[in-house]
Amino acid sequence: MDYLKHLPTIFLALLFNACQSNAQHDIAFEEKDYQKFNDYWYAGKAELTNYTLQQSRYGEVHEGHAVLIFVTEDFSKEKQVKLDRPDQAKNDAVKVMKLNFTKKFNTGIYPYSMMSSTFTPVQRDQFPNSFKVTSSSQEWCGHTFTQLNLRKNNFDLSGFSYFESEGDLDKEIDKVLLEDEVWNLIRLNPEQLPVGTIEIIPGTFASRLMHTPLQKVNANAKLSNSQNEDFKGENVLVYEIQYEKPQRILNIYFEKNFPHQILGWEEEYKGTGGKQLTTKAVQKKSMQLDYWRKNSPEDESLRKELGLD
């Protein structure tokens, strides 16, 4: 397994980042167990977690569900796609944590289906920025697609929309932290989460639903013990991002101990008509599964096990 040869480098990088982070926040994490990390994330399975979702849209809250799928895979740093034969592309292959994030909810008669994919290198000492984010939204009015690709000094943004005011986009954005990659950072090493005043590119879902442009903005980030009654316990932390313009708060609740499972999240902002609403997701069921091999009719029972049917 080629990732084993990188463990000394990964260890030094994470230790360095941990020292830096401890100077910024007072959360004490357990000592890293790299064998535990390898056994969990390189076992040939993905982690699938289903969440009950209350999604704010059009000035009201709509019931639905969200699924987070975390899995490691070999990624081409040049082509920025999954490698079919990583053993034949050793100089190009990079281990990434991939998050496939889906939301489904109905607004009255018509449904919304949203999905984003974020590819974040495991070896963040060598590759401190995520390589790629893709995001799409489908509903009965039409559909949209957004893609961010990492270049040397910036992200290339491509966007396609049925809205006249948004149209087709092709521009560059400064290379800073991505909200979409925060979820992966939590799973890789929450000690690397930046706190204080930060520069960040808001999430692609939020940008779509709020109809705001993707661009670098200022925010304030904080990592602390959760005081939320729905996400409480000594082992529960919350990463909070407060955006200035437009005003928005994102709280991600997760387990302090490995594997740092995400227990849920809350998102507050003013929607249609200036009404302040909260989107909320709470973990319902989680499992590890090689789901790409479970594609026969008899495997549909796994959807019930995950709580999707």
1 pLDDT band, cuts 50/70/90, is very low
- Stronger pLDDT, 8 or 164, i.e. the higher one: 164
Average pLDDT taken over every residue of the chain: 90
Residue bearing tokens 């809350």: 266
- CB-CB contact of 78 with 109 (8 Å): no
SS3 290: coil
Q: Tell me the range of 1-5, 214-218, 229-233 where mean pLDDT is highest.
A: 214-218
Q: What is the pLDDT of residue 27?
A: 87
Give the whole-number percent of the chain exceeding pLDDT 90: 79
Q: What is the pLDDT of residue 9?
A: 43
pLDDT, one tens digit per residue, over 231-252 is: 988 899 999 999 998 999 999 9
Q: For 61-75, 245-259, 268-282, which range has the lowest pLDDT when averaged over its residues?
A: 268-282
Give the pair of three-digit tokens for residue 41: 């994330």
SS3 45: coil
Q: What is the pLDDT of residue 24?
A: 59
Q: At what angle do helices 34-41 and 7-22 cross, to 10 degrees?
A: 110
pLDDT, one tens digit per residue, over 193-204 is: 999 999 999 999
Q: What is the pLDDT of residue 21?
A: 37
Q: For 98-102, 162-166, 224-228, 302-306, which range has the lowest pLDDT when averaged over its residues?
A: 162-166
17 pLDDT band, cuts 50/70/90, is very low
Beta strands in 45-128 (DSSP E): 46-57, 60-76, 93-107, 110-121
6-22: average pLDDT: 41
Question: What's the rounded Cα separation, in Å, for the pair 254 and 263?
Answer: 5
pTM for this entry: 0.90
- Stronger pLDDT, 11 or 132, i.e. the higher one: 132
Q: How far is CA 245 from CA 82, 150, 175, 200, 269, in A?
A: 35, 25, 19, 12, 11
Q: What are the extents of the domains in the chain?
A: 2-306
6 pLDDT band, cuts 50/70/90, is very low
Residue 209, φ and ψ in degrees, nearest 5: -75, -30
